[in-house]
Amino acid sequence: MAEKARLRRKDIKQPDEFITRSRQVVGWARQHQQLMTWGGVGVVVLLAALGIATAYRGARVRDANADLSRALIKLSANDYAGASNELLELSARWDGTDVASVAALFGANAAISAGNPDRAITELVRLQGNAAQLEPYLQQQVLVAWGAALERKQQWLEAAAKYKDATALSGPYTADAVLGEARARERGGETERARELYRQAYDQFPDLPDRDLIAAKL
């Protein structure tokens, strides 16, 4: 048995497979040295570019958020005209970022509060054109704000239509949308439909702060 386990002289002379493969790889690398060098450089450049791009995006987001925070100070101080101007300018300056859409929406709402519904609608039309890039709750808020702007212009049934579109979306502004549509249809002369909507709001949203006033509409 021991004799059978011995390596034959022929086997000893055969080169090890690992050594053979290693030599082949080294030989290929020497023959293609320039290609290997450029490949390595390409990888380094790619990694550096990705790192710079990530850092740049991070810096842009930080700067945009800082600008938004400063603009919101005016809004919290009820300086609606000043806040609207600053927020809409900020939105244009940071176009292409998430902050831009939020700033535009805040700016449109501030314009409504400042008594400038036309400026708000102009901005909301632009936002609606990019609705696919907005989160669903922001799409809903755009429509609610649009309804409020049309109410300011006393375009009651047009406002009701926007509120109705907002109700069809899932989000935290559904109660506002239902009440907005009810209010707009009531003022537009559609009292029966308004009463149905007040009933819907009363039954569906038991935590509404104006529940007693809504009950009086029924």
CA 142/CA 101 separation, integer angstroms: 10
Given a contact cutoff of 8 angstroms between Cβ atoms, the answer to whether 120 and 109 are in contact is yes
Residue 36 falls within a domain, yes or no?
no
Query: Is residue 1, in this structure, part of any structural domain at all?
Result: no
- Is residue 69 one of the residues assigned to a domain? no
Q: Considering the domain boundaries, does residue 79 fall inside one? A: no
* Total domains present in the chain: 1
Q: What is the pLDDT of residue 188?
A: 95
CB burial of residue 197 (10 Å; 0-12, 13-18, 19+):
buried
Q: Which residues have a Cβ under 8 Å from the Cβ of 181 and sit 6 or more positions away?
A: 147, 160, 163, 164, 167, 197
Judge whether 167 and 196 are in contact, CB under 8 Å.
Answer: no
Would 61 be classed as within a structural domain? no
User: What is the domain range of residue 208?
Assistant: 136-218
Intervals of the chain under pLDDT 50: 1-22, 25-26, 28-29, 32, 34-56
Task: Give the contacts of 36 (CB within 8 A, at least 6 positions apart).
Answer: 29
Q: Is residue 179 in a domain?
A: yes
Buried b (16+ CB within 10 A) or exposed e, 170-193: ebebbebbbbbbbbbbbbbebeee
26 domain-assigned: no
Q: Where are the alpha helices (DSSP H) in the chain?
A: 2-5, 9-13, 17-31, 33-76, 80-93, 98-113, 117-129, 136-152, 156-167, 174-187, 191-204, 211-217
| CATH label of the domain that carries residue 183 | 1.25.40.10
pLDDT at 56: 42
Segment 161-208, tens digit of pLDDT: 999 999 999 889 999 999 999 999 999 999 999 999 999 999 998 888
- Return the pLDDT at 53: 40
Domain assignment present for residue 187? The answer is: yes
